[in-house]
Structures are given as structure tokens and as C-alpha cells.
Structure 1
């Protein structure tokens, strides 16, 4: 192991000495900032990343459907109108409250049975270039979104399964207007046109993307959705669609994958135990429920907010409508500690044991009390993973690596059910592989590149394995952070939130939660706040949103600060009195609808 990893580490160390660390690339390009009004509803609400998807979900609720029914309709429309972010070729995590309990439905993709930990190493044993791995057959995991939604529908659906697909089928057949965001991302995309199916669908003959407002029809997707509506998830594991998925992966011209029909047939969604724990915020106690591993989001968000609540800066308010330098310092130090634990411990729980036998050990009050003592007046030189009670350091920390993509949905229905669902195909446009069963029909759906969420390096220089290394049948670690919040005393649901944004999902979700719960902002105002966050390297601040005095004050505290575009896409619903308030991120196209 030392033969291939040591030169890599030496190169990185020399580069770090020569210049400040670069901010990681953003998962999806920026496409403008559009002010949103904020919304208020009495009975139910749907927040999603595209108006057509939001309205489809609201229509289902008006027809008597449940929150899960609405989420299915929203996801199918997103597959069509926001193909760069999520779809039936990807995976999702869904947190659901039915008035009695919180359930965590895991629809994360899995690695094919034939892969091993060298999946993303080249012939010399070096990690291959990230972009090369993404746009390939090797990056595709077994899709899980449809199977997971079917499981949730069997338990909580009220309308017939087939009915929930009709809005997306109708739109796919008659066409939907290309949005400014989709057009912007298509114009910037370089790898997608290499796929002939995607090129014929998304681009004109001269190679330019269809213009904003163009009615883009997808009869191929309509046909696939009809099959799923008729026979359920089996449509994706048997028959022509399944064969088309496997052929697309295995026939990639340069880096074919190992996916088989047996991999598709063996896939099973999981129902896991949500990570729920108390949090003191805004002068009261709430119960914060996040998604457990294989997501790192629930743990990291809970740790950051829990550590922050134990610092004097937790009492700080906004300054001129923005977080001040002292608060940002404490938040950043809490984040660095959380990300150190994330790199050390988190992986698929079917393969990676929880520290001390319980993932809640990373959120235990005694553990957070001890970790919060490490947050001082200056930036700590190094943030190292902690040692929860009973934990051992059997694994090596995972090196930093890009993460991407994703969309978020928050829904509350008129019966008191609530959900938060984050859904993804990973990178923008996933693996850049578009599946079609009939060449005469335009369109299809994109496959994920979720396997690039695994660590490319399987071990460190000492040969210690990395928890999130590639293994057959394993689910890659995620940062998705669908979150539900409840009043700690009454048990009443107070908030549903989440965001896309790769590893920055953790920060975008934490900002929405702290802004709404601690600072008491309308959820729209919380999402409007400037973005910030660190993945362990530089502290990133959203470009042109912070005064220079804040930047200089943070640098004086020892932080390397970089201002960059930070394209979140958060959605949030907050209960205030008898009403649900809704917010949609101004950096993307989402809206909130309801009654």
C-alpha cells in the first residue's frame, strides 16, 4: 500500500506548502439568485426544487393523498424537469413521521457484487482522476429510489401507486419548458454530450443546448414510468429497462462497469432507526431527528449544532443580517471536529461497526461536552477525531474527496404526517449515461455516479483500511441530511428541512435549522442568509455576501478564508402556531405550494 499512496501524500504535502488550499469545486454551477417571497399555509405544504414538481405534489395532497404519495409524484416530475440532480436512476433517503414514530427509509445505491476496493485505482495502483471516474460505467451503483418509495408507499400510501406517476407521464409526453437553470448547466457541461442518447435529447444539431422555454418532450421516460406505474420497482430489475441499464454500464467505451441483472434483482431498500436526540436552541429544547449511516449528514449536523450550543457564541445574534466573525469561528471549529469524526468513523452500517456499538455515541451529551472544550478563541491547529465511549480507531480517516449533486423535498400533509427526503444521482447529470430502450423515442433517464462517493484509496500509507472503501454490495457514505424537528415536550412536529450541495449539504441544512430555530427567522429568511462552511480545509464564505471586516477578523483568528459561489438548494417548512411557513432557496428554482 505504501508504494502507491506515499507519493500521492508527498505531492499533496508539497502543494500545500506552496500555496493555500483550494476551495473544493461546487457540486452544481450557480445559475443566479432570485428572491423568494416565503409562504404560509394552514393545512399542508410541499417544498421542492422545481415549480412543476411542487405543484404535482400539492395536487396529490388536494386529492387526498398522503405525504408519501406527494413525494412520489414530486420525485417522478423531478426525474423529468431536474435531471441533473435526481431521478429514478439514483438513490434517496426519506425520513417520515406518521404521528407516532419517525422512520428512516434507506434507498441508497449499492456497489455491484463483482467490484473490489481497487475499483477506482489505475494500472499503477494510483487513484484515477475524479472526473474520469465519474463519467464512466464504473461509477454506477444499483439504483434504489423507486424500490425505497414503493416500500414507503406500501406502509403510508393512500392513493393508488399508478396514479402518482400520471403528472410526470403527462409532462413527459407533452413537453416541459427548459428552465434557465437546466439550460445554464447544459451549456457548461462537457462530458454529457459524449453520450449519444443524452446528446440527441438535451442538445440541438449544432451542439448547443435547447433554449430556455423550449418544450422538451421525453416519450422514452413516459414509457418507462408507465411500466413502473403498472408493475412497480420490478420494471427496473426485469425486462427491457433492466437490460438497457446493464448494457449502458457494461458497454461504456472506455471504463465499463460490472453491474449485472442479478445486482438489480438483489437490491433491497432498508428501514433504519432514525438518529433522534435533544438539542437546546432558541431558549427551548427540541428533538432533532436526522438520517443514520450510511449517511454522515444526521451525525454531522447534530454534532455541529450540539457543539455550537455548548459555546458562548451560541448566544450571539445576527449582525446587520449576517452571522458575525465570532459566531462563524465557533461554528467552523465545531464543523472541523464533526468532519474529523465523519472521516474516521462513518460508513455503511452493514459493513462498518458504530463506534462503541452505537451511532448515538457520537451525539452523546458527555462526548459533545468533552469535544466542545477543544473550541478556543483561536483556530485549533488540527481537528482530530474523538474517541466516544468504547470506540476503537480501527480504521484510517478518509482523505478529502469531491461530492456532488442532489435535490431536497419537504412535505407535510393535512393528517399530521411529515417527511424530509433528499434524493440524488450524485454529480450534476450523474455518470453522464442516459438509458433508453427504444432509439426511435427521444429521451430516457440518467444513471447515477454514486460509487464515486466511496473512498478511491482503500487504505492509508500504513495499510489501515478506510471505513468508506469500496466493497461488493456496500452503500457509499453520503452527506445527505433530511431532517425533522419536534418539540421536546409535546412531540409536535416543528420543522422539515434539507438541501443539496455535496458535503456542503451538512452546512446548508445546519444553517437552515439554526436560523429558524435559534434566531427565530422565517424559514425563507433563514435560507436567504449567506452560506458558509468548511470541509476541513479553508473556511468558505459565499461570494459578495460578507463584509471585508468579517473576512479579516476570521483571518486574524487563524482561518484561511476563501469567498466562493455556494449553490445551495435548501427547502424548509416550519410550524409557527397554527400555520406552516415555507421557504425555498433563492439560489435555485424551487417554490412552496399548499393550502
Structure 2
């Protein structure tokens, strides 16, 4: 079914109701020792229903972006076509999360005549400038800079990759002309769009965006307050840039006037200049990589789960967590009894947390750009080997382990040496937006896209914001013993990510079952894993699984979504030796699931009640 098309004013009114702020007021990103900062503030929780469609579906983080994707699919476009239209609109209406000044990972499955899908991973991750050095995130005393001292300005800006990646994917899978895919965003940028409650709240809460004169003039009033909810914001500069890219291709971004403006903005920042140069933009290449896939047994079926390889840590960490849990009593425990507000058994949460801590220990030591840091044992799949995960699972005890240490993948070939890298210290990780799409041709994608921190480096040029992706590298290139960190800054290197675009297939038939992903910094891994378990193991619909309370650990405390877990659950975890923290875990999950209803194949889709996301389809 097609959802009713709504105009700008209707969207605003709907979102005013949807994003009612909790009684405690706006929740700022929280810094708690050993717990992850959240990339965006919480702006409410609004229950949503599953959307059932027969031909195609698109789930994105803003209704205007979803509408653009729907219109492209309705016109005969492919999943990749729709993703391009969605991304261009998201960069306009949700500029805090993604845009053409950032990067993305796109996982794509192509329907084949034999029924088994072909899976591809398109890497549009930003790269460090050629002039980058491993000490560029250190201060004059050789100590790591404070996070936002590195972020705000030109220093943190990497070479944007999303446009080259989308062009590469479109060359292989596009059905509509490139120029047509930019029309929705150009129209909205020219005619204006209404500021949503969520964007307004982000603008009000941000402490740094006003410091950039260009961003201040665009987003804020003369008194420094953000424009009001419903204010129609026009962006003719971005419209002109998008029109040039539509007409001339991505070279219009990576060379010429636009590239020169980007480099000038980065290099001439008055207090925190960066090293991005024209040749970095001109030489940027998107890459096609081999997806990371693993088997997952659940509910009498075996699934083949595919995700993004390094430089993303998402698929490996999710595969390790789920793989270790299969060697624990977790699979025998009952799912939550209440589909929305119910929480997992605290015994299950204990097992999940310990598996997570072990996975994040491996992540901290091993995962980085594969062109710079070799995989342990010679291949990334060694971290997902059943025998290795079985051994790792033996470390999980009835109480919390004092410290989770990285393992040594097996088998270790003669030519491969144990890693000489040092584990990367914990540091903040942010951002992003997610898109899940299935088209009428049987193709599907999961795409996670980012400028990293909310509003990126807070540098606006020609109507779009620049990323701060270089702060996803380890600020400290070495540990106290002088050992190098795999994820340190190096020229032309891609920083490690937690983005986890995921596609799930029935292993027996090879047919697509699910597309899912989320924003949320390092917690993306847990948001995505929770939804996979909810749908595949517990039999929930995508909307039910998405709405379940969020939880996870990035190596330290158990982090639980604030106000969603009972005091008894918190007490049970503490009795097992866990430090427990409650935070506003602002996931932005989107999921599309294939199901058979009454002998007919349908798509059932969900969008996160914690954000503005919406599903449309037919």
C-alpha cells in the first residue's frame, strides 16, 4: 500500500506530535566514563506500526527523503536509484547526520535467475589527506586533543566519498538517468522545506555550529537562536551544487569551483586548519570490497548474514557476538513477553554483554583499513571462525569477567604472526543515518551514511556541511610501550567505522530475507544486532524488534536505554558484577523484512520510534 503523500506543512504537524520531548526536557549527549557518547540528542519515542507492501519499500530517516525514494521506485527506478534520491534529500533536511560532504557504506544484493542473490559492498568511506601525519590529532605536548578541539574546524575533515561511491553503484545498478535522481532535492532546496522538530532541537543543543559564520547565517536567527520549527529553509547554494553534479557528474564536486571552495574552507580555518588538498579530492576512489558473511542458526532455519568488511568493524563484531551466543545458554532463553516494552531476561543480557566485550576487545586490536592493517591470520574471516568463537565463548562465566582481552584467531598460518599492534583506547564515536530499500526488480540495499559527529566539523561550504571523519582514527598513534595502533592516522587511509548495513538471506535458498541498519556511533553494532535477534530468533516483526529497548557494551559497563529497564533487571546485572549505566540510546533503525502471508510474499517494514523515520511502499 502507498502511504498518503503529505505536504511540507502536514509533515511538520505530524512531527510536532511525534517528537514530543520527554518530561525531563532535551537529553544532551552524555559523557560517562567507559560508556559511548550518543551522536544526537533524544527527542521522544513515538510508537509506529509495521508497513506492509507487495512491490517495493523504502525506509529512511525523514519523511521527505522517504517520499523522494518512493517516487523514484514508483517511476521504475532501482534500489540504488532510490538511495541516491534519498541521500540527496537527507543531506538537505537532516544535515546533522549525513550529506555530500561525508561518506557511506552501501551493501547491495542483486536478484539472479537462479534465485540466489549476488552481494556487493561499495565503500565510500572518507580518506585522510595525503599530507596527514600520525601525530595530527595530538597537542603540542604530544597528548591527544580534547575531542571537540579536534573536531571543530578543518583539521578533522577527510576526503568526502559518498558521491563517488553512489556513482560507482549507479553505473552498475541504476535504471533511471543520473540527472533525474537529483530532482527532488534540488526542488526542496530551491522552494524550501520546513524545519522539523528534531532538526530544531539539534540546532538548539549544538554548541559549535554557530561558530561558523556561514552555518550561523543559514541555520540561525540574528539573536543566535535557531529558526523556529516549521520555518521554511531555502538552500539555493546547495541547489546549484546538486544541479551541477546532476548535469556534469561527480567531477563537478571533486574538481573545479566546488572542490576549491571545500579546500579553501578547510585550509583557511582561522584556528584549526586542516590538510585536505585539491589532489585529495581529485584522486579519491570508491572501492568495491568483498562482504563479510556468516551463518546464523535461529528458529529451525539457518540464515546467511552479510555485512560490511573493514574498514567497518560492524559485521565482524555482530558476527562474533551472535556466534559466541550460540555456544551459551542464550538460545534456550525465552524472548521478551511484551513486544514493545518488554526487556530480555537479565541472564540473556549478561551473556550478550560478555560476548560484546570480547568482540570489542578484538575490534580495538585488529580492525582498521585493510589496505594498511592486515587481517589477523591472513583473513578477516578468521575472527568469525566457529572454532575461534567456541573458544572465546568459554571465557563467558556466570559473572562478569574482570577484563575482556583480545584473542588469537585460529588457525594461525605459518606465515602469519600474532598482531604486534596495540589496542586502540576508547574514544568518542558518533553519527550517521541509515536507508533500507527493496525495489520491484528483487534488488535490495542497506546503506549507512555519515558526516560523523552531529553537524560534522561544523564547517559549511556552498550549502553543505563537511565531515569530521578523521576523529574516527585513534588520536594516539602508539600506546605507552610504543606499539603502533592499527587504526592510527596515515595518509590516504580510511578510518575504522562501526556502521553496520546488513542484508540477511535464507541459506538454503539464497533469497533475501531482511535489510537493516542504524545510526548511533559504536552502539550501531548493538542496535543492529538487537534487531536481528528480535526478528530472526524471537519471531518479532521489524517494528516490534526495532522498538525493543536498546542495550549493549563497548567494552566497559552495560549500557541500557534510560527508563526502559526495570530496577530488578538492573539489580540482577549488578549482582553478576556488571557496572550498569542508563543513557538515552538514540538509535535510528530502519528494517525491511520479507514474509509469506496467506501464500503471498510481502515486505514488512519498520522505522525507529526514536526518530523521524518513515516507511513508504506499494
- TM-score strictly above 0.5: yes
Partner Cα distance (1:465, 1:512) in 2: 35
Query: Which of residues 370, 374, 379 in structure 2 aligns to 1:358?
Result: 379
- Counterparts of 1:176-575 in structure 2, within 5 Å, are 176-316=193-333, 317-320=335-338, 321-389=342-410, 390=412, 392-436=418-462, 444-575=463-594
| Per-residue deviation, 1:393 | 2.1
Q: Give 5+ residue unaligned stretches, structure 2.
A: 1-31, 112-116
| Per-residue deviation, 1:540 | 0.7
Partner Cα distance (2:460, 2:301) in 1: 49
| Per-residue deviation, 1:169 | 0.3
| Per-residue deviation, 1:284 | 1.3
| Per-residue deviation, 1:131 | 0.9
Q: What number of residue pairs does the alignment pair up?
A: 570
1:327-379 CA-to-partner distances (Å, cap 9, x unmatched) read: 10000001001000000100000000011111000011111111111111111
- Runs of 4+ off more than 2 Å: 20-25
Maintained 8 Å contact 1:395/1:467: yes
| Per-residue deviation, 1:191 | 0.4
Partner Cα distance (1:331, 1:283) in 2: 21
- What SS does the corresponding residue of 1:491 show, helix, strand or coil? coil
1:262-304 CA-to-partner distances (Å, cap 9, x unmatched) read: 0100100000000112111223100000100000011011111
| Per-residue deviation, 1:110 | 0.2
Query: Which of residues 594, 597, 604 in structure 2 aligns to 1:581?
Result: 604
| Per-residue deviation, 1:148 | 0.1
Maintained 8 Å contact 1:235/1:241: yes
Q: Give 5+ residue unaligned stretches, structure 1.
A: 1-19, 437-443
Aligned residue number for residue 69 of structure 1 = 81
Maintained 8 Å contact 2:37/2:430: no
Maintained 8 Å contact 1:281/1:309: no
- What SS does the corresponding residue of 2:305 show, helix, strand or coil? strand
| Per-residue deviation, 1:25 | 2.2
| Per-residue deviation, 1:319 | 4.4
- What SS does the corresponding residue of 1:427 show, helix, strand or coil? coil
Partner Cα distance (1:324, 1:233) in 2: 50
Aligned residue number for residue 119 of structure 2 = 102
| Per-residue deviation, 1:198 | 0.3
| Per-residue deviation, 1:22 | 5.1
Partner Cα distance (1:110, 1:146) in 2: 13
Partner Cα distance (2:284, 2:605) in 1: 35
Partner Cα distance (2:343, 2:534) in 1: 10
Aligned residue number for residue 93 of structure 1 = 105
Partner Cα distance (2:614, 2:201) in 1: 19
Partner Cα distance (1:245, 1:198) in 2: 14
Partner Cα distance (1:282, 1:227) in 2: 51
| Per-residue deviation, 1:107 | 0.1
Query: Which of residues 77, 81, 98 in structure 1 aligns to 2:93?
Result: 81
Partner Cα distance (1:89, 1:282) in 2: 42
Partner Cα distance (2:200, 2:562) in 1: 23
Maintained 8 Å contact 2:104/2:449: yes
TM-score normalised per structure 1: 0.95
Partner Cα distance (1:23, 1:307) in 2: 22
1:380-404 CA-to-partner distances (Å, cap 9, x unmatched) read: 1111111012251210000001001
- What SS does the corresponding residue of 1:486 show, helix, strand or coil? strand
Maintained 8 Å contact 2:52/2:603: yes
Partner Cα distance (1:21, 1:235) in 2: 44
TM-score normalised per structure 2: 0.91
Superposed CA RMSD: 1.1
